[in-house]
Amino acid sequence: MEQDSYGMVNIQVPAEHLIEAIQALKAYEKAPVQLLTDLCAVHYPDKAGKELEVVYHLHSLTQNLRLRLKVAIAQDAATVPTLCNEFAGANWMERETFDFYGVKFEGHPDLRRILNMDQMDYHPMLKQYALEDETRDDKDDQFFGR
Amino acid sequence: MFGKKVPLSGRNKQMVKIVDQPEGYEGQGFFATSLDKVIGMARANSLWPLPFATSCCGIEFMATMGSNYDLARFGSERLSFTPRQADLLMVMGTISKKMAPILKQVYDQMAEPKWVLSVGACACSGGIFDTYSVLQGIDRVIPVDVYVPGCPPRPEQIIEGVIKIQELAKNESLRRRNSDEYKRMLESYNIETK
């Protein structure tokens, strides 16, 4: 499925075909993709069965063409294959995405937290968790909207 | 010797201020006072700070150490970048939860007597960073002696904080660090007492 947003091509890919799609884009002669610019996730708590979306920003340096690959997955089975074999730079970005959204990257060599402290027991960017620190006690809930 | 203004020779006849003499008995060739007071005076006027600067308050601290404000005038000329030789831990800036154990380790490594100055809103209370990743005040992991509010505080305020620490150092009893009260206070922060 293709759609155009803000002048950039968006492609929805099912998780099981992700590696295939990336390999095909890397091998595509007219605009070979060489760079994984960014890898992140979005949480849509209202989209039943597709709560999480992993977004891959790809860049064809030779053609200066950018495109987005999106993989929608369910929150209770948030697993996508790792891109570490295709792009070495995916390693830390996948760790970050795991850290903040709890997405598991199957086949990742070292999938553990990277930015938050190791003892943290949840994934803070999921929308069911408050952004504010629960231990803060000098703010009056009435005025700070908690 | 103490408390007198010494005239400088030369073109600029400026006056140099010297620390006041502690209370005591003075006679020809001798001066007697309590050890507490002498040691307190010496400690207070030669505090070696360890700057633990993580953000914009650290920039204000750089101004504080610079020639305009010059913390060296208060006997804190020598910054110690090893906790082993520092008397005063100056925490300036946001401390994330991931950094909290490191800050605690730095405090642990300092030798007694030690003081902690918390500079800026973030170090004191988390400041504007009311968020999952930021420690909501360093007093959650280590005991703090003086808080300097501000976002960031001006160098004058930081100097005021250091002067308050000097007063604490000057008036502290020599037995305080051995007292049960002090040990209980450290234990309440889960800091090992030897």
Task: State residue B18's pLDDT score.
Answer: 81
Task: State residue B145's pLDDT score.
Answer: 95
Task: State residue B7's pLDDT score.
Answer: 59
pTM, whole model, 2 decimals? 0.84
- List the 39-78 stretch of A: residues with Cβ below 8 A of B: none
Domains annotated for chain A, with CATH where assigned, are: 2-129 (3.30.460.80)
- List the 111-140 stretch of A: residues with Cβ below 8 A of B: 115-117, 120, 124, 129-133, 135-139
| A116: nearest CB among B98, B126, B140 | B98
Spatial distance between the Cα atoms of B163 and B182, rounded to a whole number of angstroms:
22
pLDDT band at B1 (very low <50, low <70, confident <90, very high): very low
Instruction: Compute how many other C-beta atoms are within 10 angstroms of the C-beta atom of residue B45.
Output: 15
- All residues of chain A having their beta carbon less than 8 Å from the beta carbon of residue B136 are 133, 135-137
Displacement of CA B156 from its chain's centroid (Å): 15
Interface with chain B: mutation pick from A96, A101, A121, A135, highest number of B CBs within 10 Å: A135
Q: Which residue of B has its CA nearest to A113?
A: B98
pLDDT tens-place string over residues B138-185: 999 999 999 999 999 999 999 999 999 999 999 998 888 889 999 999
pLDDT tens-place string over residues A78-107: 999 999 999 999 999 999 999 999 999 999
Residues of chain A with pLDDT under 50: 1
Annotated domain spans of chain B? 48-172
Sign, CA torsion B167/B45/B115/B112: negative
CATH topology of domain B48-172: Rossmann fold (3.40.50)
